[in-house]
Chains A and B, each alone.
Chain A
């Protein structure tokens, strides 16, 4: 009952005119960002975060969460109409969405995607409302050793489940953590890692500099290189009647949508997994449980419904560990977490005690954002399709300018802008060689907390690493983390064993 009271208070705050305007604006921008090939929620949130200093923190995070949500809806539009995923989270949507569009069923695919996104989003927000308060309560008992163990678990999921090259994933984690150590030593206050004695390094490396460099500049360079070919845009005729007919047709995909929602939500909670693998797994499961698996890949509507429900559910799921434990569940929530720290809100269980109104306003805003994203999506699908015709040679320079100004605004230092350019170009060159970038962004956000919790724990234990294993909560978490670190090795040994026998 208490949860319902708090939630209704949250709604009271969210339904204020300013916040409603922010949600509508955020959803529309998110839909646009998600629909543009090459840009996803993480790019939008990274580039636009510096622009949110205009509104109070609660408004800012509501706006960014709405972008996150809108981008999940928007990704489907270019997947279906262009056959290019608008964001990595919508990759699975192309498998059946594109064949449907080529068969002349573009409207059915788009409306199914929107409807499934809405149901996935709603189911996951309800799960979120039920899970978040008890999890935060458990987390209140956590000490520094548990905090450190949780961070190890977050990094371990990248190694065990991320699916990227193993040494390169480790490298990415290490360099992110090392870059977070630049500046003043958090305990002794001594300057450290001041490269070339440049004064700009004294205030440390802001996570936004790395995030905008990689997800703004690096991503655009990547898109410029990879979007050499021409694309054809499908036509969709959308009328009120067609919308109603297609929404009624959603019932036939109910099984796929509900499965996708639950699967997406729980996969989304895992730090390395998030919406992309969540939607691909949902696609796989939908195909397995379908009565007609052979029609998948040729335009089966369940193949659109399941991944779209899953990616929205996963985006909500990834906020659960961010808000309750202070450990982000995806690169996008890592940037949101960094933003909350800038606004003076320390994520983690204390947030539910100290800033109850903020937390519940955010949760309520997810319910509201879901409704608006659906409405905006259905009303403006033709508009978004015409926006997709905008040439990339106009969009790219505007985004570069946004990156440069966005990189300057938080610290007002040109040093950071240059550093951002270096990160963007080097990150792009590394990404071409399969170095994953998301672990580095997560690591630079978590770095200061990881270092403090490790040093304080070691101080308590007088230098013994056993403190992380002997405590009742951190011990099991560390063991799971170690198992995940070793998972790729075990897999390889198994494969080798399988080959010799």
Chain B
């Protein structure tokens, strides 16, 4: 926990500094007749973020906050594995949307999650995995007229559009 607290504070401090530098691309001072420049608001907020990180690190050194004093592990090994697998499978689903589209990546993700992470029966996993994209299609594409990304599978949907719209 203690090490995680320091690493997080340092990473956030670097991000704050980057944000300050990025805000300074626009004027951060006073422009006569126009008020504060466009970069002023984010610049001072990022400076505030940086200040908070310094404050957190000082408290880490003095061990004066509960987290910086904790001897608990930040994450237990088995939990870390599950969280990493879940986050990676989510990223894989989002990534594959670009290629095979929502209607193929979503069922694959649901199947993987329910069958292999949840150890549910094939029948349960398959029925939910196949039903979800069908419901999604009717709700978004037909009712809301919001087209979801389909990647290379777009031509497969032309007949469906002709049929329903």
Contact of A459 with B34 in the complex, beta carbons under 8 Å: yes
Contact of B83 with A225 in the complex, beta carbons under 8 Å: yes
Binding-face segment, A240-248, A378-386, A428-436: A428-436
- Interface positions of B from 1 to 26, Cβ below 8 Å from A: 1, 4-5, 8, 12, 19, 22-23, 25-26
Contact of A178 with B46 in the complex, beta carbons under 8 Å: yes
Contact of A433 with B38 in the complex, beta carbons under 8 Å: no
Contact of A401 with B109 in the complex, beta carbons under 8 Å: yes
CB of A354 within 8 Å of the partner chain: no
Contact of A168 with B19 in the complex, beta carbons under 8 Å: no
A429 proximity list for chain B (CB < 8 A)? 8
CB of B55 within 8 Å of the partner chain: yes
Residue in chain B with minimal CB distance to A171 = B52
Contact of A193 with B19 in the complex, beta carbons under 8 Å: yes
CB of A421 within 8 Å of the partner chain: yes
A177 proximity list for chain B (CB < 8 A)? 41, 45
Q: Known: A178-B19, A421-B91. Is A458-B49 also a contact (CB below 8 A)?
A: no
Residue in chain A with minimal CB distance to B87 = A425
CB of A195 within 8 Å of the partner chain: yes
**Shortest CB–CB separation between residue B105 and chain A, in angstroms?**
9
Q: Known: A193-B42, A393-B113. Is A433-B146 also a contact (CB below 8 A)?
A: no
A397 proximity list for chain B (CB < 8 A)? 109-110, 113-114, 118
Contact of A458 with B35 in the complex, beta carbons under 8 Å: yes
A190 proximity list for chain B (CB < 8 A)? 26, 38
Contact of A228 with B79 in the complex, beta carbons under 8 Å: yes
**Shortest CB–CB separation between residue B112 and chain A, in angstroms?**
8
Most buried by B among A51, A181, A397: A397
A192 proximity list for chain B (CB < 8 A)? 22-23, 25-26, 38-39, 42
The answer, among A167, A398, A428, A459, for a CB contact under 8 Å with B55, is A167
CB of B30 within 8 Å of the partner chain: yes
**Shortest CB–CB separation between residue A452 and chain B, in angstroms?**
10
**Shortest CB–CB separation between residue B2 and chain A, in angstroms?**
10
B53 proximity list for chain A (CB < 8 A)? 171
CB of A149 within 8 Å of the partner chain: no
CB of B74 within 8 Å of the partner chain: yes
Contact of A53 with B82 in the complex, beta carbons under 8 Å: no
Cα A54 to Cα B144 with chains together (Å): 6
Contact of A401 with B45 in the complex, beta carbons under 8 Å: no
CB of A350 within 8 Å of the partner chain: no
A16 proximity list for chain B (CB < 8 A)? none
Contact of A171 with B59 in the complex, beta carbons under 8 Å: no
Q: Known: A170-B48, A174-B49. Is A408-B149 also a contact (CB below 8 A)?
A: yes
A463 proximity list for chain B (CB < 8 A)? 30, 35-36
CB of A455 within 8 Å of the partner chain: yes
Residue in chain B with minimal CB distance to A170 = B52
B110 proximity list for chain A (CB < 8 A)? 397-398, 401
Contact of B79 with A225 in the complex, beta carbons under 8 Å: yes
Cα A217 to Cα B149 with chains together (Å): 20
Binding-face segment, A89-97, A268-276, A412-420: A412-420
- Interface positions of B from 115 to 165, Cβ below 8 Å from A: 117-120, 124, 128, 132, 136, 139-140, 143-144, 146-149
Q: Mark A485-499, 1 if CB is under 8 A from B, else 0.
A: 000000000000000
CB of A501 within 8 Å of the partner chain: no
- Interface positions of A from 148 to 188, Cβ below 8 Å from B: 165, 167-168, 170-171, 174-175, 177-178, 181, 185, 187-188
Residue in chain B with minimal CB distance to A393 = B118
Most buried by A among B38, B67, B109: B38
Contact of A185 with B26 in the complex, beta carbons under 8 Å: yes
Residue in chain B with minimal CB distance to A459 = B35
**Shortest CB–CB separation between residue B118 and chain A, in angstroms?**
3
Contact of A451 with B144 in the complex, beta carbons under 8 Å: no
B113 proximity list for chain A (CB < 8 A)? 393, 396-397, 400
**Shortest CB–CB separation between residue B38 and chain A, in angstroms?**
4
Residue in chain B with minimal CB distance to A432 = B74
Residues on A close to B: CB < 8 A?
51, 53-54, 165, 167-168, 170-171, 174-175, 177-178, 181, 185, 187-188, 190, 192-193, 195, 217, 221, 224-225, 228, 391, 393-394, 396-398, 400-401, 404-405, 408-409, 412, 414, 417-418, 421, 425, 428-430, 432-434, 451, 454-456, 458-459, 463
Residues on B close to A: CB < 8 A?
1, 4-5, 8, 12, 19, 22-23, 25-26, 30, 34-36, 38-39, 41-42, 45-46, 48-49, 52-53, 55-56, 59, 65-67, 74-75, 79, 82-83, 86-87, 90-91, 93-94, 97-98, 102, 106, 109-110, 113-114, 117-120, 124, 128, 132, 136, 139-140, 143-144, 146-149
Additional A-B contact list (19), CB under 8 Å, known A165-B65, A394-B124, A434-B66: A53-B146, A54-B144, A165-B67, A174-B48, A187-B35, A192-B42, A193-B42, A225-B75, A393-B118, A397-B110, A401-B109, A401-B110, A401-B136, A405-B136, A405-B140, A409-B146, A412-B147, A414-B149, A433-B1
